[in-house]
Amino acid sequence: MKRRTMILAVGLLLVALSVQAQEGKSTTRVERQHKYTHFQKGKMKQTESSILAAIENESVGMQQTAVQALRDLEQMVPDYPFSSLITPLSNKLQSAQTDPVVRKLAALALDELHSDAGDAAIRAMAEKCDDKGLQSLCEALLVRSNLE
């Protein structure tokens, strides 16, 4: 009886150790998946420059698509600091000649970047803007950022 209990205890210990080791491997694999490799950083830089070129393009459709793609990327890769896009987005937001949809998308994208420069551009539009819909959106974004 004592021998069976000892064999059972050793068996359970081996199972517990293998499960713990497997959990450690899973955690390591997950951590590896979410850390940027040199290749991934290069791809993100390349994507960022492509989005920048599309934002600065004259085509309204390309601008809308680029800003929406940026918003999607911000959701998928929240740790990446799309810092080179803050100034062009601010310029699009503040320019009265920019398409109204692009301006609203730029405000949303700047809000999601959580940068002081982006918040300043949104604040400026909330204080004074000819487009009342955009002004209301910027005011709402400022209220939401103050609540978070």
If asked whether residues 27 and 54 sit together in one domain, one would say no
If asked whether residues 102 and 118 sit together in one domain, one would say yes
> What pLDDT sits at residue 23?
47
Compute how many other C-beta atoms are within 10 angstroms of the C-beta atom of residue 148. Answer: 5
User: Tokens 């830089």, residue?
Assistant: 45
If asked whether residues 6 and 48 sit together in one domain, one would say no
Domain holding 3, by residue range, is 1-35
Domain count, the chain: 2
If asked whether residues 25 and 72 sit together in one domain, one would say no
pLDDT per residue, tens digit, the chain (148 aa), is 556 555 655 555 555 555 555 544 444 444 455 566 677 788 888 889 999 999 999 999 999 999 999 999 888 888 888 899 999 999 999 999 999 999 999 999 999 998 899 999 999 999 999 999 999 999 999 998 776 5
If asked whether residues 7 and 58 sit together in one domain, one would say no
Give CA–CA dist 148/12, Å, rounded.
47
If asked whether residues 1 and 61 sit together in one domain, one would say no
> What pLDDT sits at residue 14?
56
Q: Enter the pTM of the model.
A: 0.72
If asked whether residues 22 and 72 sit together in one domain, one would say no
Is the distance from CB of 45 to CB of 73 less than 8 angstroms? no
Q: What CATH number did the domain enclosing 71 receive?
A: 1.25.10
If asked whether residues 86 and 20 sit together in one domain, one would say no
If asked whether residues 28 and 55 sit together in one domain, one would say no
Sequence-ordered strand ranges (E) for 14-136: none
